[in-house]
């Protein structure tokens, strides 16, 4: 047995992290009209450019809106002619000023109606040229084209051909993978060592030999009550798309501060199920040992930090901990109780 070391963690704080999308660089593409999906042009993972066709939707709304626009435009043209004629008549005294004001009001109302219908057609995917060329003889096929609003990658697709959808249904998510977030969870006791602007080095276990450098851009002011950790964000360039959403990462946050820590040899820690345990000598009964549930913090080489579960005066079993764990399995003892983190 040996006692834990009351040491210091200095220089670098290493915590687990996960790669997440930058929500400011992703766009949810929604349906602009109710109808039936006629075709879908992209799959999840496809690279798209701004304006690329994603899907087509058969929607009677398009034809109806086009007919409404033509009707509004016809009424506006008639109102414009009346206003022009009255302006000439007022000049020669053949019409009253009140008639002219009424005509101006009607002209403004029809102009507003035309612009409203024009905006709706634009939302449904028609270009300014297509809208200008509409006429009573135009044959509308009622097909709404859904295009990509930005360059990026399709990360979600919620529709298939033949599906009936409502207006504002979420169809796709287009995300920019050239920059990602790495979000790490830092224990409450270590937050004093992490500040916005602190340098960080990120490695990913599945990408051997690769390191990314960044800086802390955000420290969550709210702690998770169950783990007593705060989310810390590092923004990274990912132009080669090596980092994938959901990928695990190790985050080494540089710090000039030091923190007191209770350190033990890593061989003293055993894991039973999801719970870490250690064995300490029983001072009242020589040769007997007690099992303690512990919460383990950062590791550094052959030692690990114990956040709670033991104190400085405990004598812990180091080399014989595995044998004690095997003996408790042989005896069929119940699983150890989980222990909550208590910040010292």
CA 184 to CA 215: how far, in whole Å? 12
Tell me what percent of the residues of the chain surpass a pLDDT of 90. 40
CA dihedral 311, 317, 321, 326 (to 10 degrees): -100
- What are the percentages of helix, strand and coil residues in the chain, rounded to 5? 25, 40, 35
Of 301-310, 320-329, 333-342, where does mean pLDDT reach its minimum?
Answer: 333-342
CA 320 to CA 315: how far, in whole Å? 13
Query: What's the pTM value of the predicted model, to 2 decimals?
Result: 0.56
pLDDT value, residue 344: 40
The encoded tokens of residue 317 equal 């079993």
pLDDT digits (tens, 9 = 90+) for 34-69: 889 999 999 998 999 999 999 998 888 877 888 888
Contacts of 203 (CB under 8 A, 6+ apart): 210, 211, 212, 249, 250, 252
CA 130 to CA 125: how far, in whole Å? 10
pLDDT value, residue 148: 92
Closest to 70 in 3D by CA, of 122, 132, 141: 132
pLDDT, averaged across the chain: 86
pLDDT value, residue 234: 95
Average pLDDT over residues 28-32: 88
pLDDT value, residue 258: 56
More confident residue, 9 or 42: 42
pLDDT digits (tens, 9 = 90+) for 279-315: 999 988 888 999 999 988 766 568 888 888 888 888 9
Closest to 180 in 3D by CA, of 228, 231, 254, 239: 239
Closest to 151 in 3D by CA, of 19, 24, 26, 23: 26
Return the residue matching tokens 């029983």.
Answer: 282
């Amino acid at each position: 047995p040996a006692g834990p070391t009351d040491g210091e963690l200095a220089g670098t704080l290493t915590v687990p992290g996960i790669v997440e999308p930058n929500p400011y660089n992703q766009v949810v593409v929604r349906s602009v009209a109710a109808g039936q999906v006629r075709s879908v042009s992209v799959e999840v993972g496809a690279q798209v450019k701004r304006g690329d066709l994603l899907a087509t939707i058969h929607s009677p709304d398009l034809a109806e809106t086009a007919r409404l626009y033509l009707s509004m435009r016809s009424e506006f043209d008639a109102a414009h002619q009346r206003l022009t004629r009255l302006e000439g008549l007022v000049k020669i005294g053949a019409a009253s000023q009140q008639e002219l004001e009424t005509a101006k009001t009607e002209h403004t109302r029809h102009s507003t109606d035309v612009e409203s219908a024009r905006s709706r057609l634009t939302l449904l995917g028609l270009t300014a040229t297509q809208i200008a060329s509409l006429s009573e003889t135009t044959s509308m096929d009622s097909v709404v084209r859904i295009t990509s609003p930005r360059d990026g990658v399709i990360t979600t697709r919620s529709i298939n051909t033949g599906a009936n959808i409502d207006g504002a249904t979420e169809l796709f998510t287009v995300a920019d993978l050239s920059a990602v977030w790495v979000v790490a969870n830092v224990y409450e006791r270590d937050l004093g060592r992490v500040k916005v602007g602190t340098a960080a080095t990120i490695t990913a276990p599945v990408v051997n030999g690769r390191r990314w450098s960044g800086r802390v851009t955000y420290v969550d002011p709210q702690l998770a009550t169950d783990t007593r950790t705060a989310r810390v964000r590092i923004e990274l360039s990912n132009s080669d798309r090596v980092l994938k959403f959901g990928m695990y990462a190790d985050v080494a946050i540089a710090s000039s501060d030091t923190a007191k820590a209770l350190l033990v040899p890593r061989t003293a820690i055993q894991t039973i199920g999801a719970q870490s345990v250690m064995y300490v000598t029983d001072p009242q009964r020589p040769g007997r040992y007690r099992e303690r549930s512990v919460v383990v913090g950062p590791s550094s080489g052959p030692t690990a930090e114990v956040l709670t579960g033991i104190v400085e005066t405990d004598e812990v079993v180091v080399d014989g901990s595995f044998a004690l764990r095997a003996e408790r399995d042989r005896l069929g003892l119940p699983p150890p109780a989980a222990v909550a983190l208590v910040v010292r």
